[in-house]
Amino acid sequence: MKKIFRHLFLVFIVFVLVLPQSAYAQSDIHGHYFEKSMLSLIERGIMNGYTDGTYRPDRPITRAEFTVFLVRALNLSPSSTNQSFSDVKENAWYYSAITTATSNKIIGGYPNNVFRPNKHISRQEIAAMMKRALDLKGVQAEKAPLPFYDKNKINPMFYGAVQEMVDLKIIGGKKIVRDYILPH
């Protein structure tokens, strides 16, 4: 099970995005580092593209997009709980996924009853959502030391989730070696 999650979530690290309309745009992902993984996710109906047939794999992902992707990846049934955020309308393409994810405690909103669906999601927020999703599926992890040069920039509320995702080898980062930044 860890391998499946590792494969699915590796795509997130480079901010592959999800939207409601399905289409394969060879020119958009052809030759991309994660082309094979993206095609697998597209074929499984987990990842969809923009209405213009593109996927825009290098574009930052929003909170709504990642939530939709994660709900599809986990194959969660739509929730009957009616979570309402003032900025998430019932006719929005992401409404059902946000309701499902919040009722399963995978993601929450912000103060003043807002979700901020179009806000770009940070890697530490992704780590927290993935940790909660793995918890939901019963996957356990240790807290690995973080060798990242910028680990002091991780918000303390997300630190443990990042450590667990590193332990599971779902996420990596960069570390300094002889004053150079190298992929980890």
Per-residue confidence (pLDDT) for residue 177, from 0 to 100? 58
Total-model pTM: 0.76
DSSP states along 62-112: BHHHHHHHHHHHHTPPPP-S---BTTB-TTSTTHHHHHHHHHTTS---BTT
Q: At what angle do helices 156-167 and 123-136 cross, to 10 degrees?
A: 60
Per-residue confidence (pLDDT) for residue 11, from 0 to 100? 46
Q: What is d(CA 133, CA 101) in angstroms, rounded to the nearest whole number?
A: 9
Per-residue confidence (pLDDT) for residue 51, from 0 to 100? 86
Q: What is d(CA 53, CA 139) in angstroms, rounded to the nearest whole number?
A: 35
Per-residue confidence (pLDDT) for residue 160, from 0 to 100? 95
Per-residue confidence (pLDDT) for residue 38, from 0 to 100? 87
| Contact assessment for residue 34 and residue 16, using Cβ atoms and an 8 Å cutoff | yes
Per-residue confidence (pLDDT) for residue 130, from 0 to 100? 94
Per-residue confidence (pLDDT) for residue 141, from 0 to 100? 93
Q: What is the mean pLDDT of each run of 10 residues along the chain (184 residues)?
A: 51 41 59 88 87 89 95 87 84 94 92 96 94 93 89 94 93 62 55
Q: What is d(CA 158, CA 24) in angstroms, rounded to the nearest whole number?
A: 34
- The set of residues, in sequence order, having a beta carbon less than 8 Å from that of 179 and lying 6+ positions away, is none
Task: Specify the 3-state DSSP secondary structure of 117.
Answer: coil
Q: Where are the domains of the chain?
A: 2-139
